[in-house]
Structure 1
């Protein structure tokens, strides 16, 4: 066990089997917070019974590209610029204080895409709710970051799983398999974060709770 910069005990990963560490690291990258919203948007655009934003391929592709730009490209470039300007010590944001500015900047992009989509003619209600859910969950994460290094991975996955559960109430049993898969992925990724000693269990649980709370707030406000 070692003390981190916030004086919290974390287990070192030296004793973890190498294969286990590789798998945990791979899961952490594949389901990184900058990718999770894109997976959900793609699911909404190209999976039955949704096929949102009309039925045209160009319309769906445009929405997907808008999501990639605001949820992946801009946040990634922002973090790289912050590292280049030495505002943060690492692009991996291992220190709680390093996460403050990225949280704020990402919230700007998240708010912007929600604001655009909510006023876009033909944009489905579910897409607007999800966009606002991401913004609200990230905002709650920013507040939690004052007290702990809350897991960004669990915030993203908590939002995604909660959103799929919301769709389950609306679309019925057809969503069951997707919810099960999402829960399995969330469990594996959260376990991976613990195995890599990047977070304590409390930070992971609070991240999941932030995702759930953000989606519930969005459903009440934007729904």
Structure 2
């Protein structure tokens, strides 16, 4: 018996090592708009939120017009102008295929836009593994639990059937807000001590450790 039937993954910082790329795109967008810069640490802090909500965190006192201008430039940077990119974490592809072969249903709940997620799913060739996905620009942003509610509805499942896997406090808090177990990954954007404050069921230090961790949970559910 598997401990869960559905594994819901965050994307950036959990499956893809995209921190540097996101940070550079945001720095470029801010510079183009011409407002005060933000440090890499400040930008890393908001990775995982929906785009405009993330920028609002960076500039809480700025007008909506400036927030939207930065968001527009970020989209151009990420989707059009940027020639670089990000790679999946080592072993992520193999781990996902192994979990799929074990009979887990897979889903994604991400702060990316629909265009952004579709782009990386196409580039990585992983789209077929994730029949159900939710993005911040088509529902509520994390940590609101609406993404998870919609995924559970699509799978006709309850919160106790699923596990949220993520690298940010927004992922774990979203799971707590719906009463879903979560698994923290310590190699992403937020430090482990910060993640543990949100009471995940456990944590792993490498994406390839997820199958073994799930095996240890079979007798604990």
Say yes or no: TM over 0.5: no
Structure that is richer in helix per residue: 1
How does the TM-score come out when normalised to structure 1?
Answer: 0.30
Structure that is richer in strand per residue: 2
